[in-house]
Chains A and B, each alone.
Chain A
Amino acid sequence: VTRWVLVASFGRASVAGEVDDWLRAARAVRELPGVLSSDVDLDLTDSFGGGDATWDLEVDVPLEELPAVQALTTPGSAALRACERVALQPVLTGSDPFDGPRLKRTLLLGVDPSTPDAVVEQFELSMAAMAEHVSAIRSWALSRVDPTRSTGPWTHAWEQEFADLDGLRRGYLRAPYHLTAVERWFDHEIPGAIVDESTVAHLVRPAEAAVLPPAVGTTTTHHDRS
Chain B
Amino acid sequence: VIVTIVDDIILATQDVDGWLARWDSDYAPAAQSRGLELAGIWATGTGDPHRSTVVVQWRAPSIGVFWASRRAASADPQVASFWEATDAVALRRDRRVLVPLGPS
What residues make up the interface of A, taking CB atoms closer than 8 Å to B? 173-174, 176, 179-180, 183-184, 187-191, 197
B38 within 8 A of A: no
Nearest residue (CB) in B for A180 is B97
Q: What 1/0 flags go to B79-100 for Cβ under 8 Å of A? A: 1100100010000011111110
Rounded to whole angstroms, the CA-CA distance of A180 and B100 in the bound complex is: 11
Query: CB distance B99 to A197 under 8 Å?
Result: no
Taking a contact as CB atoms under 8 Å apart, the answer to whether B3 and A179 are in contact is yes
> Do B95 and A190 have beta carbons less than 8 Å apart?
yes
Give the distance in Å from the alpha carbon of A189 to the alpha carbon of B95 in the complex. 8
Listed stretches B17-25, B45-53, B66-74; interface member: B66-74
**Across the interface, which residues of A come within 8 angstroms of B94, CB to CB?**
190-191
Q: Is B41 an interface residue (CB 8 A)?
A: no
Binary interface encoding of chain B residues 26-41 relative to chain A, with 1 for a CB under 8 A from any of its CBs, else 0? 0000000000000000
Report whether B74 and A174 are in contact in the complex, using a CB–CB cutoff of 8 Å.
Answer: no
In the complex where A189-B73, A190-B94, A197-B74 touch, is A179 in contact with B79 (Cβ < 8 A)?
no
Given that A176-B99, A180-B98, A183-B70 are contacting pairs, would A188 and B83 also be in contact in the complex, using a CB cutoff of 8 Å? yes
Can you offer 6 A-B residue contacts whose CB atoms are under 8 A?
Answer: A176-B99, A179-B99, A187-B95, A188-B74, A191-B94, A191-B95
Residues of B within 8 A of A187 (CB): 70, 74, 95
Identity of the chain A residue whose Cβ is nearest the Cβ of B95 in the assembled complex: A190
B63 at interface by CB-CB < 8 Å? yes
Cα-based distance from A189 to B67 in the complex (angstroms): 13
**Residues on A with beta carbons closer than 8 Å to the beta carbon of B73:** 189
| Chain A residue at minimum C-beta to C-beta distance from B90 | A191
A176 to B63, CA, bound (A): 10
A142, B30: Cα distance in complex, Å: 36
Q: Complex formed: what's the CA distance from A37 to B73 in Å?
A: 40
Instruction: Let me know if A174 and B87 touch, CB within 8 A.
Output: no
Interface: B43 (CB within 8 A): no
A179 to B99, CA, bound (A): 8
- In order of increasing CB-CB distance, the 5 nearest A-B pairs are A176-B99, A190-B95, A197-B74, A180-B97, A174-B63
Shortest beta-carbon distance from B63 to chain A in Å:
5
| Given A179-B99, A183-B97, 4 additional A-B pairs, CB 8 A | A179-B97, A189-B73, A191-B95, A197-B74
User: With the chains together, A197 CA to B83 CA distance in Å?
Assistant: 16
Q: Give the Cβ gap from A45 to chain B, nearest Cβ, in Å.
A: 16
